[in-house]
Amino acid sequence: MLKTELCDSLGIKYPVIQGAMGPYTTVKLATAVSNAGGLGTLTTAGFTFQKVGLSKEIDHKEGLRRIIREITSSTSSDAVFAVNIPTLKHAIPIAEDYLGVVIEELESNSGTRKKLKAIVTSAGDPAILIKSIQDAGLKCIHIVPTIQHAKTAEKAGVDFIIASGTEGGGVVSYNYPITTLVLLRGVVKTVKTPVIAAGGFCDGAGLVAALALGAVGIQMGTRFIATEECDIHQDYKDSILRASERDTLITIMPYGPCRQLKSEFSLTLQEMMNRGEDTFNYAWEGVKNTIEGNLEKGFMAAGQVTGLIDDIVSVKELIGRIIREAEEIIGKLNSKIGGITR
C-alpha cells in the first residue's frame, strides 16, 4: 500500500488532501474524502462572507460549529478531517474566532477530538495561530506560494507545508507566479518540514511525480469539484469538464489574486483591471452571484488541471483510481530502473 509520513502523522489511509473551496463550506465533499481515506477539509471562507454582509445566514461562528458537528457525526469511526482558516491580516479577529470555535468543539465532543486532526492555514502568516493550534493537539498545515514563504512557515513551526503552484485554482500568487514543478522542488530542498504538493494534480501520475520530487502527499481542489459528492452547482462542474488548460485566468478578488474559469464575470473583471478601474465592488458581486447560483456572472475557482479532467465520479472511485494508477506506475518504473546497468 502507498503510504507516507503524511498518512502516519494524520492517521489517513492515503496521502491525498482535499483543498478548501470558499465560498462553499464543502461539508458533503469533505465527509466523502475523509470516509474514502483522504483528509477532507471544511472551508470557513463562506462564513467570512456572511460576516462582511454578503449573506444573511447564521452567525459565522455558529456556522462553523454546525458543520464541525455535522462532519463529526457523518464520518466513519476511522475517518479524520481538517478545518481551513485563512489568516489574512485584515481578518485576524475572524480567524481567532474560528479557532476558538474549533477548540471549544474539541473540548466538548470526544468524537471531534478523535477525528479533527489539523488546521490548514492560508493566505497569511500562520504565526498568529500556530501556538494555539498546537497547544490544542492539532497539526498546523500551511499553504505557501514561494520558497521564501516556506522559510517563514518553517520558522513559525508549522508541521507540514503545502507548496501550491500558480497552476492551482483559487488563491495564487500574482506577483510570483511560480509553477508547481519549480516551487515544489525548491521548497523540498530548502526546508526540513514535510511538504505536500498542490497545483495541477488530478491523477496517479501526478501523485507519483510529487513523491518523486520529495513531497509526502498531494492536495487537490479542482479535481474534487468534479465529483458526485461535491457541494457545488452542477453547472460549475460541467464548466470544468468543458474547459481546457487555456480556459482559466488570474484576477484580483477581495481576498487576493485567484485563478478562475473564464466567464462573463472573470473576463469583465480582467478588462476592468487592465483599464485600472476599481474592481472591489464588482468582485464582491461576483462572489455573491456564486453563492446564489448565478454562475455565469459569478466567481468559479479552477486550476489549469481542468484540461485533464473529463469525468464526474464518486470521491471513493476517484481516490481509489489515483492510488491504483500511482502503484502501477511505481511498479513499471521499478521494472524499467531495474533494467539499467551501471
Better pLDDT: 32 or 333 = 32
DSSP conformation letters of 22-44: TT---HHHHHHHHHTTSBEEEE-
CB atoms within 10 A of CB 237: 18
| Mean pLDDT of the 306-321 span | 97
The pLDDT tens digits of the residues spanning 123-139 come to 888 888 999 999 999 99
Q: Give 304 or 95, the one with higher predicted confidence.
A: 304
* C-alpha triplet 172, 198, 157: angle, nearest 5°: 85
DSSP 8-state class, residue 252: E
Please report the pLDDT score of residue 58 as a whole number: 56
- Helices 92-108 and 60-74 pack at an angle, to 10 degrees, of 40
Helix (H) or strand (E) holding 16: strand 16-18
Sequence spans of domains, the chain: 5-233
Q: How confident is the model at residue 297 (pLDDT cuts 50, 70, 90)?
A: confident
Whole-angstrom Cα distance, residue 139 to residue 159? 6
Q: What percent of the chain has pLDDT over 70?
A: 94
pLDDT value at residue 53: 47
| Residue 92, number of CB atoms within 10 A of its CB | 15
Residue 48 pLDDT: 59
pTM of this structure: 0.92
Name the CATH superfamily for 5-233.
Answer: Aldolase class I (3.20.20.70)
pLDDT digits (tens, 9 = 90+) for 243-287: 999 999 998 887 778 899 999 999 999 999 999 998 888 888 888
Of the two residues 233 and 92, the one the predictor is more confident about is: 233
pLDDT, one tens digit per residue, over 142-200 is 999 999 999 999 999 999 999 999 999 988 887 888 999 999 999 999 999 999 999 99
C-beta atoms surrounding 102 within 10 Å = 25
Three cell numbers, residue 147: 520558497
Residue 309 Cα distances to 15, 76, 92, 138, 198, angstroms: 20, 28, 36, 33, 16
